[in-house]
Structure 1
Amino acid sequence: MNLPNVLTSIRFLLIPVYIVIFASGHMIPAFLIVVAAGVTDVLDGYIARRYGQVTTVGVMLDPLADKLMLITVIVSLLVAGHLSWMAAGAMFLRDLGMIAGGLTVHFRKKQAIPANWLGKLTTVLFYAVLMLIFFQSPIAHACLWFVIALSYVATLVYIASYRSMNYAAAGKPPAEL
């Protein structure tokens, strides 16, 4: 297991730590756990690309760790009343779709699409909006809806890239993939 995969594993371990801290009512330390998860995400991606340590396992587990952390945060904020059902539902729908899509790609043995700049931007903006929510900013929910919309655009870009790349690899029209 290389360093980027170790950092991804740490992100999985931070999920129950976040739950315990958030459930005890410590909003700022809980937010700092979310930030720590974000930092491990940035570091593992940088190290993997910079030092040629990108692995098939890492390409699959990295976004899964991100999505599970984000889903955990969404549920906790929803249960605590800091997030609307509609916003949570929109984020769940997208993230569960991304997880299902990633698993489908893996089990069909198709080539996965690594994160692009729009996906990375969306992730950074989600963390910024989470900060606004954790600190109860009056503009948090308006910003959240903007980032949700952007995340759906990023998803459409991923789907188009996936279809295009696998179309080229298979030599088939996109409708046959």
Structure 2
Amino acid sequence: MNLPNMLTALRFLLIPVYLIVFANGHMISAFIVFTAAGLTDVLDGYIARSRGLETTAGALLDPLADKLMLIAVIVSLLMAGIIPWAAAVLLFIRDIGMIAGSAFFHFRGKKTVKANWMGKLTTVLFYVALMFIFLELPYGVTLLWCVIAFSFVTSVMYIVKFRALNSRQTG
């Protein structure tokens, strides 16, 4: 259990904290907890890569922690009537597809595509959209729709890169 993996474990622990804070109506505090989880993600990735502390467990648990936090945020916003069902469904389809696809191909010995600038930009834009929503700023949901559309473009780019990477492996 190294420092990056401890930060990932902390992210798992922040999920119920976020849910409790949100359920008690503290929108700004809930966003702060969500943002803190995001910062631990950035920090654990940086530490793992810069210090050679990348582990198989970390590679699998890190995205799982991210996706579970995202699911908690989306479900809480949906149940509170803050975001529309269609937005939540599209986010779930995309994320479940990414998780299932990554796991399926990982266990079949296929190479996976590491996060690139478009994926990172999608994450930043998602946080910006959620900041607008949590702070009740105008156009938060509209911005979320734009980020959802961009996330599907990013997913297509990952699929194209994945296919190219693995066709070279077998070809």
Which shows bigger deviation, 11-20 or 74-83? 11-20
How far apart are the structure 2 equivalents of 1:102 and 1:2? 24
AA of the residue aligned to 1:58? G
Q: Structure 1 residue runs of 4+, over 6 Å off?
A: none
SS at match of 2:124: helix
How far apart are residue 81 of structure 1 and its match?
Answer: 0.8
Give 2:110's aligned residue: 110
Unaligned runs of 5+ in 2: none
Q: Normalised by the size of structure 2, how large is the TM-score?
A: 0.94
How far apart are residue 133 of structure 1 and its match?
Answer: 0.4
Residue pairs, 1:52-71, within 5 angstroms = 52-71=52-71
**Percent identity for Structure 1 against Structure 2:** 60
Unaligned runs of 5+ in 1: 172-177
Are positions 1:49 and 2:49 aligned together?
A: yes
Which shows bigger deviation, 128-137 or 58-67? 58-67
How far apart are residue 20 of structure 1 and its match?
Answer: 1.1
SS at match of 1:163: helix
How far apart are the structure 2 equivalents of 1:161 and 1:5? 28
Give 2:30's aligned residue: 30
How far apart are the structure 1 equivalents of 2:140 and 2:156? 25
Q: Decide whether the 8 Å contact of 1:59 with 1:114 is kept in 2.
A: no
Which shows bigger deviation, 108-117 or 145-154? 108-117
AA of the residue aligned to 2:32? L
AA of the residue aligned to 2:102? G
Give 1:175's aligned residue: none
Give 2:92's aligned residue: 92
How far apart are the structure 1 equivalents of 2:144 and 2:76? 16
How far apart are residue 111 of structure 1 and its match?
Answer: 2.1
Q: 1:73-98: CA deviations, max 9, x gaps? A: 00000000110111111111111111
What root-mean-square deviation, in Å, do the aligned CA atoms of Structure 1 and Structure 2 show? 1.2
Give 2:5's aligned residue: 5
SS at match of 1:90: helix
Are positions 1:137 and 2:137 aligned together?
A: yes
How far apart are residue 2 of structure 1 and its match?
Answer: 2.0
Give 2:167's aligned residue: 167
